[in-house]
Amino acid sequence: MKRLHVITWGCQMNVYDSARMADVLAPLGYAPASAPDGADMVILNTCHIRDKAAEKVFSELGRLRRLKEATGGRMILAVAGCVAQAEGAEILARAPYVDIVLGPQTYHRLPEMVARAAQGGPAVIDTEFPEEDKFDFLPDATAPQGITAFLTIQEGCDKFCSFCVVPYTRGAEQSRPAAAVIAEARRLVAQGAREITLLGQNVNAWHGEAPDRGTWGLGRLLYELAELPGLLRLRYTTSHPRDMDDELIAAHRDLPMLMPFLHLPVQSGSDRVLAAMNRRHTAADYLRLVQRLRSARPDIALSSDFIVGHPGETDADFEATLALVRDVRFAQAFSFKYSPRPGTPAAGATDQIAAEEKDRRLAELQALLREQQARFNANCVGSILPVLFTGPGRHPGQVAGRSPFLQPVHVTGPEHLIGQELSVHIAAAFPNSLSGTLTEEIVCA
Ligand code: SAM
Ligand code: SF4
């Protein structure tokens, strides 16, 4: 048995890709190792979305170089993901001890790359966007992911927001056929998954080939997946406001197992900045969409992404973002300082915002978002929420799971509750989690 250690940075799509890379290498005898020391192969699965991505990779590579030397150079070192895609040649120039550089679209070819690397020739680099679809070449057999599982249904992006590298690193938008998605979901459930999160850079732009010809949208796919016996919960992320169509909103109304929590990035509340970002929606469009979602599913909780300090953002633009946040009342959110990404239109803009100003705006926005999250969590106290238990809690004798709104919930209870969805009386709220006690009522065993 050989030992494989994978280090993953970035989004849930990278987490999914790392698991699939391990699946591809399993038939070659590679079994997961929890640490890189003494491993036969280490893969760094990288993210390029914001600042210092490449520096982080090079500093990790420095550490791994010493571990590779300790194996007499036998350890195969691979750099995968979006940094590899964007900066593959530079990686090999600066870290010539790296054996393999591969992009997010070529990891089905890993066995071939590993065979070439093992022969000790020059480094292997494969960062093309291949003709073939990697999903057609990945093995069906997958290592179980656990009670909650990720399933990538869509990749890439054609939207070209001014600030974003994804269209360049992940390539054009692609949707997997519905039959392939349903088959993978079935396998995940058979392996014990009770909740599936469908993934995509623009997951709601999914338009997959239907089993009976034609295409389906995400709404239709969700109705189909909701029929899978044994599956308790469905989620999807990340969505673009422009792709929330009527059928998808109706799915939120009709499917109780589609969790009432939606990550719907808006980025800014200023129409001027939204136009400069090439988001192709206004703040009013976003607010109308929130209204429609809340009419369809009154308890839906919203999360978002924000960027402060995009080139040209004025104080008034930033105030418009704060106003939108006050209007919507988010349950949770991610916010970032604009980080120029090489090759993107905004990186070349001359009206960049000073670092101190970005810091100030981010601090103000985050204070407001934290306040909203605390209020959302506090409002859960006293209610009974279904919690899907996924693992042991922080303290002995505790189990932990997730509420429908994705909040971590801790209760005192035995480990055999893991995998069940049970009602919990919420007794206390913390900044990022809840705690409570099990009620008598069993929602689902
Ligand atoms: N496709 C999603 C959408 O359009 O909303 C977002 C995907 S992106 C991988 C995740 C988040 O990273 C974005 O929503 C954005 O807030 C943030 N992001 C992307 N590029 C950025 C940049 N150059 N600087 C700061 N944040 C960035
Ligand atoms: Fe990036 Fe999302 Fe915009 Fe696509 S839609 S370019 S992934 S931010």
Token pair for 437: 């006690």
Terminal Cα-to-Cα distance of the chain (whole angstroms): 37
Angle between helices 246-254 and 283-296 (to 10 degrees): 30
Sign of the Cα torsion 398, 401, 407, 408 reads positive
Residues 150-160: what's their mean pLDDT? 95
Residues 111-124: what's their mean pLDDT? 90
Q: What is the pLDDT of residue 200?
A: 96
Pocket test for ligand 2, best of 240, 263, 273, 279 (most atoms within 8 A of CB): 240
Centroid of ligand 1 to alpha carbon of 167 (angstroms): 11
Q: Which residue has the tokens 């369809």?
A: 296
Token pair for 89: 């040649």
3-state secondary structure 61-115: HHHHHHHHHHCCCCCEEEEEHHHHHHHHHHHHHHCCCCCEEECCCCHHHHHHHHH
Pick the atom of ligand 1 nearest to 339's CA.
24
The ligand with the least distance to the CA atom of 51 is 1
Among the ranges given (47-51, 219-223, 381-385), the one the predictor scored with the smallest mean pLDDT: 47-51
Q: What is the pLDDT of residue 222?
A: 98
Residues with CB under 6 Å of ligand 2 are: 157, 159-161, 164, 166-167, 201-202, 240
Pocket test for ligand 2, best of 164, 244, 278, 306 (most atoms within 8 A of CB): 164
Residue 444 above 50 pLDDT?
no
Rounded to two decimals, what is the model's pTM?
0.94
Q: Please give the Cα distance from 10 to 432 (Å, whole number).
A: 20
Residues 315-321: what's their mean pLDDT? 98
Q: What is the pLDDT of residue 440?
A: 67
Contact 49, 10 (CB under 8 A): yes
Q: pLDDT of 269-294, one tens digit each?
A: 999 999 999 999 999 999 999 999 99
Q: pLDDT of 351-366, one tens digit each?
A: 999 999 999 999 999 9
Pick the atom of ligand 2 nearest to 167's CA.
6
Mean pLDDT, the chain, integer: 94
SS3 157: coil
Q: Please give the Cα distance from 320 to 129 (Å, whole number).
A: 39
Residue 445 above 80 pLDDT?
no
Q: What is the pLDDT of residue 135?
A: 86
Task: Give the helix ranges, DSSP H, for 314-406.
Answer: 315-328, 355-380
Contact 310, 269 (CB under 8 A): no
Q: pLDDT of 161-176, one tens digit each?
A: 999 999 999 999 999 9
Q: What is the pLDDT of residue 165?
A: 93
Going by CA atoms, what residue is nearest to atom 11 of ligand 1?
A: 305
Q: pLDDT of 37-64, one tens digit each?
A: 989 999 999 999 887 878 889 999 999 9
Residues pairing with 30 in the sheet: 2
233 vs 51: which has the higher pLDDT: 233
Q: What is the pLDDT of residue 59?
A: 93
Centroid of ligand 2 to alpha carbon of 85 (angstroms): 17
